[in-house]
Amino acid sequence: MDREQVTEFLGQVPLLQCLPGSSIRRIAEAVQVKHYEPGDYVAREGEPVDGLCIILDGQAEVSAPANTEEANRPDYVLNKYDYFGYGTNSSVHQVNVIAVTKLSCFVLPSQYGHLLQTKTIWNAEETPESHSLMEQILHLEKLEVDIFRGFTLPEAPTFNQVFGGQLIAQALAAASKTVDCLKLVHSLHAIFLIAGDNNMPIIYQVHRERDGTSFATRKVEAKQKGLVMFTLIVSFQKEELGFEHQAAIMPDVPPPEQLLNMEEIRERRLTDPRFPMQYRNSAAKKKFVPWPIEMRFCQDSKSQHEPSLHYWFRARGKLSDDPALHRCVVAYASDLLYSGVSLNPHRKRAHPHTVVGDSSPDVCSTGKESSSCR
């Protein structure tokens, strides 16, 4: 197997999937391959643990020593992607592991064990506090295999309920940490069910719907108080060569460095005599929390009735280099303006209770709920 194939295989091991992609690549460089014949001892009780062992091909049996009571015998079979030798508090093996068939294993020597201990799901060596607010929002705690916990941070913008973009991005982050790092999201569908509470943690349960050679599908349920509040269906694809075409062209817009960001626009409006004094005083008194996404608009307010809007955007501050993280940032930003822009042509005649879908650019013409509306 070449290095890329080793990386792809290790990315299928649940223990490793929550690690940053850079850590999995470093592990791929450090692992050794060992082969065993049927009946060979892969690990023997009382012998030193020499590292994490992952089954590459074949079967092995875990069996307790002969003097163990029958009720406490942990006999079971290890198959492809199963592992042993990690998380033990002892420096020696407590059980025997014997090859049942011809067996091949990847072994990560103990001196590389630090690669399994990372600061976050996105970065091996740096804590969330050293990165942007955006990355801190997308940092999830792994509670169990396929179960994560996310939070609404006090520093993040609030909208009286959990922001839809946060739910999309955190759910996508959870799903991304259950597939190998070579598969990247290419399609997702979000369904908002009930409003979320900003003051409560959010539990993300990932369901592994399908794992294929090129594609993987995940369903994520976001829960609070035991209730499912949001569901995300995500499809991931391995990068492959294929047909390419580009129908759209880059619009003729000013570069971002020539444009004002939202904070600068706000400051100008607070001192602009063309705005009523009452409006300026009211706006100045309101608590202003900058979004973790910086936006620079290419158009002025004259285009507010157009069904399109040109703007530059990027995450504020430093991001780790995990490609999955950057896609989660785009998912977060997708709910900031897109739905509102779709409402622009209808602003003059829109019903005051018009509802805009959180995950769809479609606009509902009534206050009734539909599959694309919240």
> pLDDT at residue 143 above 70?
yes
pLDDT for the residue 32: 95
Mean pLDDT score across all residues of the chain: 85
Q: What is the pLDDT of residues 345-363, one digit of tens each?
A: 776 665 555 555 443 333 2
> pLDDT at residue 369 above 70?
no
Region(s) of the chain under CATH 3.10.129.10:
133-238, 256-346
Report, as an integer, the average pLDDT of 34-54.
92
Q: What is the pLDDT of residues 187-209, one digit of tens each?
A: 999 999 999 999 999 999 999 99
The predicted model scores a pTM of 0.84
pLDDT for the residue 150: 97
Distance in angstroms (rounded) separating the CA atoms of residues 144 and 325: 20
Q: What is the pLDDT of residues 109-119, one digit of tens each?
A: 989 989 999 99
Q: In what order do the strands lie in the sheet with 103-109?
A: 32-36, 103-109, 51-57, 83-84
Closest alpha carbon to 34 in 11, 12, 57 = 57
Task: Domain 256-346: give its CATH architecture.
Answer: Roll (3.10)
As assigned by CATH, the class of the 3-116 domain is mainly beta
Distance in angstroms (rounded) separating the CA atoms of residues 33 and 306: 60
Report, as an integer, the average pLDDT of 337-350.
72
Region(s) of the chain under CATH 2.60.120.10:
3-116
CA dihedral 263, 264, 266, 268 (to 10 degrees): 170
> pLDDT at residue 296 above 80?
yes
Phi, psi (deg, nearest 5) at residue 43: -145, 140
Are 96 and 66 contacting, i.e. CB atoms less than 8 angstroms apart? Answer: no
Q: What is the pLDDT of residues 214-267, one digit of tens each?
A: 999 999 999 999 999 999 999 999 988 888 888 888 888 999 999 988 888 888
What amino acid occupies position 8?
A: E
For the chain, what percent of residues have pLDDT higher than 90?
Answer: 56
pLDDT for the residue 313: 92
What amino acid occupies position 113?
A: G
pLDDT for the residue 356: 52
State which CATH number among 3.40.50.150, 3.10.129.10, 3.40.50.720, 3.30.70.20 fits the domain covering 133-238: 3.10.129.10
What residues are paired with 222 via a beta bridge? 204, 230
pLDDT for the residue 342: 78
∠ CA 130-136-140, nearest 5°, is 125
pLDDT for the residue 363: 27
